[in-house]
Amino acid sequence: MSKNLRITNSKFIDQTSRISFKFDGKTLYGFKGDTLASALLANDIHLVGRSFKYHRPRGIMACGPEEPNAIVQVGSDASMTEPNTRATEIELYEGLEASSQNCWPSVNFDIGAVNNFFSPLIPAAFYYKTFMWPANFWKLYEYFIRKSAGLGKSPTEPDKDIYDHRYLHCDVLVVGGGISGIMAAKTAAKNNFNTLLIDDKNILGGTTLFQENECFKINNSYSSEWLKKEIETLKSLKNLTIKIRTSLAAYHNYNYLLARENLTDHLNINEKKDKIRQRLWKIRAKKVIISTGAMERPLIFNNNDRPGIMLSSSIKKYIDYYGVKCGQRISLFTNNDSAYEAAISLNNSGVIVNSVVDIRDKTNSLIVKQAEMLGIKIHWKSSVVNTSGYKKINSIEIMKLSDDGTAVVGKKIKEKCDCLGISGGWTPRVHLFTQSGGKLKFRDKDNVFLPNKSELDQISVGSCNGDFELDEVINNTVDSINKFLKVNNNDYENLEIISSKEINKKNIWLLPSDKPLGKTKPFLDFQNDSTANDIKLALREGFKSIEHVKRYTTTGMATDQGKLSNMHALGIIAETAGVKMGELGTTTFRPPYTPLTFGTIVGRNVGEFFDIIRKTPMHDWHVENKAEFENVGQWKRAWYYPINNENMHEAVQRESKAARDSAGILDASTLGKIDIQGSDASEFLNRVYTNAWSKLEIGKCRYGLMLNEDGMVYDDGVTTRLSENHYLMTTTTGGAANVLSKLEDYLQTEWPELDVYLTSVTDHYGTVSICGPNSKKILSKIIPDLDLSDKEFPHMSFKNTLIDNTKCRVMRISFTGEHSYEINIQASYAKSVWEKCYEAGKEFNITPYGTETMHLLRAEKGFIIAGQDTDGTMTPVDLQMDWIISKKKYDFIGKRSLYRSDTIREDRKQLVGLLTEDPKEVLEEGAQIVSETNKQPIEMLGHVTSSYFSPNLNKSIALAVIKNGKKLKGQKMFVPMKNKTINVTVTDTVFLDKENKRLNA
């Protein structure tokens, strides 16, 4: 039965409002202000999870984002459950459900724990080494490894929560609301800087907020009292925005930062509803002040991972802030003064402090003297060599350290305890500084990496800058901020500061044991279960670079990114390899600082907002007429219009036949349209297209092919000369934006002397294309005044005209090979014109057709689609389109490349037609083509680029690119498929109406 370990004098916990929550199915109680971790500890629950590899029982170790063990699954809903959340950062709310991870069937009885007994057989890189052979067994291994890998469970359904993104600009951003951050924010705001202060906790003040110790006083009151007054004045400042529950995720170049604000995670289930859960702030700050503080380090000794072994500063926070006793007989183990603060706090709250085990020789700092005065027992120059207790620590073994600190000597003392506080010194949180590109320097005195050089307008203050004593923090912060902001703030002059000073420093990365190293388990990375032995093994096996050792042993690669383990890993590597730590360097800290849920990263860009959707003016008509759509770039294009229960093939066959037999109607609005004007417009077209444009008459249209400078086909389309200096260019749907960019590039950079203006008008006009032998009759019903005779309005020409008094342009151009017209009209009229054409065409069975039928019809005519039959490696010559290359023009984009040694090769892949021996057999697009069937290996000569069953020819047709294809006409080739080989014959690319009779039909 669990005990209540709550004391009643905490000022930060509202003990009048009780909260019920569930952990591993059991209902427990906590109070408003608790975290899940503090509430569990108050219920005497330390054991919250199993370790990753050996399934060792693990307990809560810290009280902040660096927590390696207490990572839990929150919620059980298939769409909103969240794995790998730190219990130390989850604010308790009514209805919270959380459970342990990485254990089965339960955290108390976990089958996987057998791994612990086999641990000598599972060294670093065990999986790499073991599952290599036999290679084809990997499929089998993978199944089991995947099953046992990973910690929490991913949600299986889309996240129902709402997330948001917003931008924010400020003069000064202060990251971290501890004592130095508060001083910095106050100074900035008072000096008219528009300031933003963010903190990841639900309250400002950092660790000073609950510091009530005689050894740390400002102006004769506890440092906490002084700070609370500072916070009060801070809140009244006008230029300041404070965001709590907001953690900085990433610090990029140019002071661009991402912060996650938690808006509803702390609310009761029913209060969360319909609210934005988290908001990602995209912050651009002129100046950044980092005041993220420091993390306490663990100590590395045998069996240092049992539940009940915690960081001493966390034990202090649990008692002073949450009013929770982490145990009833607590021992402490330290190499510095911090543990004494915890010892004094515990003692003052009536918890039995067994002793403090200190690896240092006796020291006389203020705080140590105070502890001694309170009668706390201290084992000087001693080390904990082992701990006992499976699911919770129950005793420690203490021995004296030798003079050089490399061994333990003398008698072993056993001390009973139910909790052990450890303190290995402090690590400045330099993560954000390094993310921003800052370079670190190493300080030998206390083995810390500190911010050194940065290219950005930023500064680190407080303990993240290596100031650990209260007077240093205050004085150095004031100096730095004044210099950084170029102000002279004298609010903090003449403060009377009492601060205990650490006199004696000593550090041993891997503490000695009475047993040989191989028989001990000194854990480094608690979450990934790597020990000091693994690091040493990696070094013995020849790994030298810290980046390699990290990956080989997986130290620092868990969800906590090694916040607690990296320094010791570095220390042990440096020591073992005999190099200086400063020279070894560090691994790279990468964003995010703490894990972000995917919902926060994508914000509102989910579902239909995932990407921009472009719709044509006639879109609603297509929807009403049951069109299926396909995505072409960002456009939704009608793909085909099934009637009754037609499948795609049936619909396309019907549409294709109707378009050639009588009339079809296509929405061509998505084609890119560029309006080109200026006195040099003709010259410009001469330079960008392969063919000649100067002689194109006004009112006439011409097909053009555009190349890259490397001679490869880039885009194509019909351009119309509207007047002397005015053209309308069309491009492919997908290529429109790129073509415009390319043309602008040449105009601005290579040919600025040309008088040409380009305007994208794709969205300004809707385009209705009607084709087929009856298209002329239909158009004459709509525009009776227009002379549609071949003489007056021939193929490849255009007319300005009116439909119901609205101006429009009608082009007689064809992508299907049929007699056809394209009506371009202001977009807002396009749907009504479409409907008009459809009504007028009804007597001719006008059939709306989509992109699939369009593709089929043009393939019958052998017209290419840039991007389908070309892929950036095809020249016009490869496409057998030599006719479109002007011989007279001196230059155009890509001309010189058409006779490079590579482009004039005869055996290049060239576009050809293919007919299957069995006319019913339709080839697969992308299928490979070979010349022999009984040879292996066989050279792939090319592939099928377009393939359809043509209802108008009643046979299968295909376009393909084949090596030396031009010379292979009439030859038999083979298309090997999975279960059969298809016999094909190489043909001409034009399958239907070679004489172009239908254009004038």
Partner 1 sequence: MFLINCPYCGQRDQSEFSAGGEAHIVRPKQPTELSDDQWAEYLFMRKNIKGVQFERWNHTHGCRKWFNMVRDTSNDKIHAIYKMGEKPPIK
Chain positions contacting partner 1, by CB under 8 A: 252-254, 256, 284, 437, 455, 709-710, 741, 744-745, 748-750, 752, 890-891, 895-897, 900-901
Q: How far, in Å, CA of 674 to CA of 719, rounded?
A: 9
Structure tokens at 567: 């320094």
Cα 926 to the center of its chain, rounded Å = 32
Q: Specify the 3-state DSSP secondary structure of 462.
A: helix
Q: How far is the CB of 687 from partner 1 (least distance, A)?
A: 10
The DSSP secondary-structure symbol of 176 reads -
User: Pairing state of beta strands 329-334 and 419-423?
Assistant: parallel
Q: How far is the CB of 715 from partner 1 (least distance, A)?
A: 18
Cα angle vertex 496, ends 492, 501, to 5°? Answer: 110
Asked whether the beta carbons of 458 and 348 are under 8 A apart, the reply is no
Q: Pick the closer one to partner 1 by CB: 183 or 736.
A: 736
Residue 426 CB neighbours (<10 A): 22
Q: How far, in Å, CA of 267 to CA of 287, rounded?
A: 33
Q: How far, in Å, CA of 451 to CA of 465, rounded?
A: 6
Q: Pick the closer one to partner 1 by CB: 807 or 896.
A: 896
Cα angle vertex 928, ends 922, 930, to 5°? Answer: 105
Q: How far is the CB of 902 from partner 1 (least distance, A)?
A: 9
Q: Pick the closer one to partner 1 by CB: 455 or 917.
A: 455
Instruction: Specify the DSSP element, H or E, that contains 950.
Output: strand 942-950
Q: How far is the CB of 208 from partner 1 (least distance, A)?
A: 34
Sequence-ordered list of residues with C-beta below 8 angstroms from that of 35, at least 6 positions apart, any chain: 63, 87, 88, 89, 90, 91, 92, 322
Q: How far is the CB of 925 from partner 1 (least distance, A)?
A: 31
CA distances from 180 to 219, 290, 469, 471, 901 (A): 17, 9, 12, 11, 68
Q: DSSP for 931-943, please give it.
A: S-SS-SS----EE
Q: Pick the closer one to partner 1 by CB: 57 or 711.
A: 711
Q: Which amino acid is at 14?
A: D
Bridge partners of 497, per DSSP, are 218
Q: How far is the CB of 459 from partner 1 (least distance, A)?
A: 18
Q: How far, in Å, CA of 715 to CA of 870, rounded?
A: 9
Q: Pick the closer one to partner 1 by CB: 437 or 794.
A: 437
Q: How far, in Å, CA of 447 to CA of 425, rounded?
A: 9
Q: Per this entry, what is the length of the chain?
A: 1001
Q: Pick the closer one to partner 1 by CB: 388 or 759.
A: 759
Q: How far is the CB of 456 from partner 1 (least distance, A)?
A: 10
Q: How far is the CB of 749 from partner 1 (least distance, A)?
A: 5
Q: How far is the CB of 851 from partner 1 (least distance, A)?
A: 28
- Pick from 575, 565, 715, 701: nearest CA to 633: 715
Structure tokens at 137: 């067994």
Q: How far is the CB of 288 from partner 1 (least distance, A)?
A: 14
Q: Pick the closer one to partner 1 by CB: 145 or 904.
A: 904
- Pick from 51, 161, 173, 166: nearest CA to 103: 51
Q: Pick the closer one to partner 1 by CB: 395 or 897.
A: 897
Q: How far is the CB of 506 from partner 1 (least distance, A)?
A: 38
Q: Pick the closer one to partner 1 by CB: 340 or 892.
A: 892
Q: Pick the closer one to partner 1 by CB: 453 or 980.
A: 453
Q: Pick the closer one to partner 1 by CB: 283 or 378.
A: 283
Q: Pick the closer one to partner 1 by CB: 745 or 918.
A: 745
Q: Pick the closer one to partner 1 by CB: 77 or 744.
A: 744
Q: How far is the CB of 234 from partner 1 (least distance, A)?
A: 29
Each residue of 293-329: b (16+ CB within 10 Å) or e? bbbbbbbbbbbbbbbbbbbbbbbbbbbbbbbbbbbee
Q: How far, in Å, CA of 831 to CA of 823, rounded?
A: 12
Q: How far is the CB of 711 from partner 1 (least distance, A)?
A: 9
Asked whether the beta carbons of 986 and 939 are under 8 A apart, the reply is no
Which single residue is written with the structure tokens 């689609």?
Answer: 865
Q: How far, in Å, CA of 499 to CA of 216, rounded?
A: 5
